Amino acid sequence: MPAVDPARLKREMESLRTALPDLERFQREALDLIQRYEDKTQRPARSLRTGRAFLTPLPLIKMLVRELGSYMEDNPVLYQQAADTLWDSGNIELQYAAIQMAASRSGPDVPTSAERWARGCEAFEVLDELAGTGIGAWRDTSCDHFLSQVEIWLEKPWIRVQTFALLALKHAAAQQAFQDLPTVFRLVHPVDRFERRESRRALVQLVEELARRSPQEAAFFVIDELQEGGKHAKQLARKTLPIFPAPQQRLIQRTLSP
């Protein structure tokens, strides 16, 4: 990675801003900027939240988001177009930047935009970030609307949108202000409809989060799924078992091995 020259970086950011509204040029310059500062001696790891998934320094990506936000604060349409353009680049760093740009949005167009992004998302970790940070402001404005939309997403034929919906429920359940856990359990029943590996991975994470919030309710949910005899219920029970307190572990184990 080349040394960061503040004066040069300032000029590069200015050039990137002035590329707008030419979205093709903007995407090209954004990719050039990100790749110019890549640390090519490193291999990307898996955690977006620590920034270790990036070959480009996370502070530089955050600076990019901050600069674009200040430049387009009075032009929300262009701001959304810029975020879409960064997302469509397919570059993980620029997709992360797009998610940060979307994080403050809470308007009625958020679900449509998020679904489009989710459909084209190739990395589970990026999808998880989108489901948490990317729609967080919108999710927190209306619990009922959020849950209704998740129900729609869960019925979509696209596996990535389905996985995105499960991850969105996980992030909602992690918020203490979110109280409608019974609806979450209803939405994901029966678990056997989640056939694909990435959806089952998201489901495990969701049930683990539910177990942290309400161990008894989550344990009853897992036990009910086991008693219905679904082919994926045992796998879900075994993978989530360690997160439960000892009393609930014993109940689940008893059902697993009658």
User: Full-prediction pTM beyond 0.85?
Assistant: yes
Decide if 129 contacts 117 (C-beta within 8 A).
no
Q: Which residue has the higher pLDDT, 54 or 113?
A: 113
DSSP state of 242: G
User: Encoding tokens for residue 40?
Assistant: 């090519």
- The full set of domain ranges for the chain reads 6-102, 123-258
User: Encoding tokens for residue 251?
Assistant: 């109940």
Mean pLDDT for 61-70 is 88
What pLDDT band is residue 48 in, cutting at 50, 70 and 90? Answer: very low
Q: Which tens digits make up the pLDDT trace of 195-232?
A: 999 999 999 999 999 999 999 999 999 999 999 988 89
Could you tell me the CA-to-CA distances from 105 to 7, 136, 240, 255 in Å, in that order?
Answer: 31, 9, 33, 44
Asked if the model's pLDDT at residue 46 lies above 50, the reply is: no
Mean pLDDT, rounded, of the chain? 90
What SS3 class is residue 34? helix
Q: Which tens digits make up the pLDDT trace of 136-170?
A: 999 999 899 999 999 999 999 999 999 999 999 99
Q: Which residue has the higher pLDDT, 257 or 51?
A: 257
- Classify the phi-psi angles of 24: left when phi > 0, otherwise alpha if psi is within -120 to 50, otherwise beta: alpha
Instruction: Measure the CA–CA gap between 208 and 220, rounded to whole angstroms.
Output: 13
Instruction: State the architecture of 123-258 in CATH terms.
Output: Alpha Horseshoe (1.25)
Note the pLDDT of residue 4.
62
Cis amide linkage into residue 242, ω under 30° from 0: no
Instruction: Measure the CA–CA gap between 106 and 124, rounded to whole angstroms.
Output: 23
